[in-house]
Amino acid sequence: MIGRLTEEGRDRDMQPKRQHRIVGRRNERGSVLAIATVGMLAVLLVAGLCIDFNHLYMVQIEMQAAADAAAIAAASQLNTTSGGIKAAVTEATKTLNKYNTNTDVTIPASSVTFAVNLNGSYIDWTSAQVSPANIRFVKVAIPPKPVTMSFLSSVIGSTQYIGATATGGMSVALTMNKYYSAMIIIENDGCGMEPGMTYTLSPKVWNSSSPNSYRVLAGTGGDLILTGTIHAYGYANGTYTVAQLSQSDDARLARIGINTRFDDYSWHPNTNATDEPPDTIVSENINYATYRQMQGYGAVERSYGVENRRIITLPIAATSDYNTYTRNVTANKLGAFFLPNKMGTDGNLIVEYIGTHLVVPMGEYRAGGIQLNELSRAVLYK
């Protein structure tokens, strides 16, 4: 009996301690829950901040990519003419507008500016058109656009503004260019072609060194046929081989290649607009300035055409540099020419010598090479 009472007393003494431990555990569970809740909120906040920062970063990347592409597109149109300035604005805004960012990247023409020197003063396109001869750089600026913030709104505001700028321009003069018509022009010794002048060049047989004429060139696999793209590299002081053709064959091959650029495929049964596309502008009896002005204002006469097909780059050699025995000829330079008309049955090639700074689609600069001072590439500077 006494033992039982002693045990009951011990149990009564232990009950407060058990209750204290139970209450303590409950308090601990409540503390853990509170800490977990705060931790989860912190994780969510950090995740939200990361999402906002990532959104800002991605918009900046997209905007800069759009500006870079627009600057290169604009620089590719520079050619020292007022039409080239307008074409640069057209290409810059067109390139920007096709980019799909989370903000509107449509920009006004006033956001495209031009300069003579990379770090010089930039002027608007209307001022650049007045004196385009020395313009070599173009800057494209995307005005700051609003980007809505979610988690960062309480820290940096609900809206952030993101913009971008990029500057493109002409490269240094190239030392190599890929030309697309496998002909060479023979000019008078000491009386070279003048920029802006139009010349009528006649076909001549391979063993004639007569000036103001052209010859079809030979390739490694035989005579080069002037249709489609001729992947031949051109260098100043490069040596070329004239094809051993008659005067009529020279004219026939030249006519095929030249006239396809005017959407005329009547001179060869296998020519077509897919392999030998025409220019987008095929109107005849226009000069280079008019052609560039038409391009600048978006004139398209052949929707399936390719821009600048009427501009051809050809090696030029003096009469004394043509060896009529070996058929080897050394070009003293490469020049760009505009085709005002297609060729007729007489085989005469009418060309306007552009002779000024011009951006070409394919070419390289190699240290130590002789530079082609009239030809450059479009380059992204900053």
359, 162, 329: which is closest to 235 by C-alpha?
329
Side chain identity at residue 131, one-letter code: S
Confidence of residue 144 (pLDDT cuts 50, 70, 90): confident
Looking at the fold, whether 223 and 370 belong to one and the same domain comes out as: yes
Looking at the fold, whether 243 and 338 belong to one and the same domain comes out as: yes
**According to the model, what pLDDT value does residue 31 have?**
64
Contact between residue 226 and residue 258 where contact means Cβ atoms under 8 Å apart = yes
Confidence of residue 227 (pLDDT cuts 50, 70, 90): very low
Looking at the fold, whether 115 and 211 belong to one and the same domain comes out as: no
**According to the model, what pLDDT value does residue 235 have?**
78
Q: Which of 155, 170, 185 is a domain's end point? A: 170
Q: Which of 153, 170, 187 is a domain's end point? A: 170
pLDDT tens-digit map of 70-91: 999 999 999 888 889 999 998 8
Residue 1 domain-assigned (yes or no): no
Q: Which of 170, 192, 215 is a domain's end point? A: 170
Residue 141 domain-assigned (yes or no): yes
**According to the model, what pLDDT value does residue 151 have?**
59
pLDDT tens-digit map of 91-102: 888 866 655 555
Task: Give the chain's mean pLDDT.
Answer: 81
**Residue 65: partners with Cβ closer than 8 Å, 6 or more residues away:** 99
- The percent of residues above 70 in pLDDT, for the chain, comes to 76
Looking at the fold, whether 163 and 181 belong to one and the same domain comes out as: no
- Residue 350: C-alpha distances to residues 192, 202, 312, 337 (Å): 16, 9, 12, 10
The C-alpha atoms of residue 249 and residue 36 are separated, in whole angstroms, by: 88
**Residue 374: partners with Cβ closer than 8 Å, 6 or more residues away:** 173, 333, 334, 335, 336, 354, 355, 356, 357, 358
- Residue 231: C-alpha distances to residues 226, 306, 335, 366 (Å): 11, 17, 17, 19
Looking at the fold, whether 226 and 89 belong to one and the same domain comes out as: no
Split into its structural domains, the chain has a count of 2
Residue 380 domain-assigned (yes or no): no
Burial level of 86, CB count in 10 A (0-12/13-18/19+)? buried
147 against 12, higher pLDDT: 147
Which one of 196-205, 328-337, 367-376 scores highest in mean pLDDT?
196-205
Residue 130 domain-assigned (yes or no): yes
pLDDT tens-digit map of 233-276: 777 777 888 888 889 988 988 898 899 999 999 988 888 999 88
Looking at the fold, whether 153 and 236 belong to one and the same domain comes out as: no
pLDDT tens-digit map of 44-61: 555 556 766 777 777 788
Looking at the fold, whether 211 and 251 belong to one and the same domain comes out as: yes
pLDDT tens-digit map of 119-143: 999 999 999 999 898 999 999 998 8
Residue 222: which domain range? Answer: 176-375
Looking at the fold, whether 272 and 332 belong to one and the same domain comes out as: yes
Looking at the fold, whether 109 and 184 belong to one and the same domain comes out as: no
User: Looking at the chain, how many residues does it have?
Assistant: 382
The residues with which 222 forms a beta bridge, in sequence order, are 219
Residue 3 domain-assigned (yes or no): no
Confidence of residue 230 (pLDDT cuts 50, 70, 90): very low
Looking at the fold, whether 207 and 250 belong to one and the same domain comes out as: yes
Q: Is 232 helix (H, G, I), strand (E, B) or coil?
A: strand
The C-alpha atoms of residue 355 and residue 229 are separated, in whole angstroms, by: 22
5 against 312, higher pLDDT: 312
Residue 4 domain-assigned (yes or no): no
Q: Is the pLDDT of residue 200 over 50?
A: yes
Confidence of residue 371 (pLDDT cuts 50, 70, 90): confident
For Cα atoms 253, 257, 258, give the angle at the middle one, nearest 5 degrees: 110
**According to the model, what pLDDT value does residue 239 have?**
83
Looking at the fold, whether 196 and 316 belong to one and the same domain comes out as: yes
Residue 100 domain-assigned (yes or no): yes
pLDDT tens-digit map of 182-192: 888 999 887 88
**According to the model, what pLDDT value does residue 5 have?**
46
Looking at the fold, whether 161 and 180 belong to one and the same domain comes out as: no
pLDDT tens-digit map of 15-44: 555 555 555 555 555 565 656 565 666 655
Contact between residue 243 and residue 206 where contact means Cβ atoms under 8 Å apart = yes
Residue 382 domain-assigned (yes or no): no
Contact between residue 87 and residue 296 where contact means Cβ atoms under 8 Å apart = yes
Q: Is the pLDDT of residue 359 over 80?
A: yes
**According to the model, what pLDDT value does residue 138 have?**
96
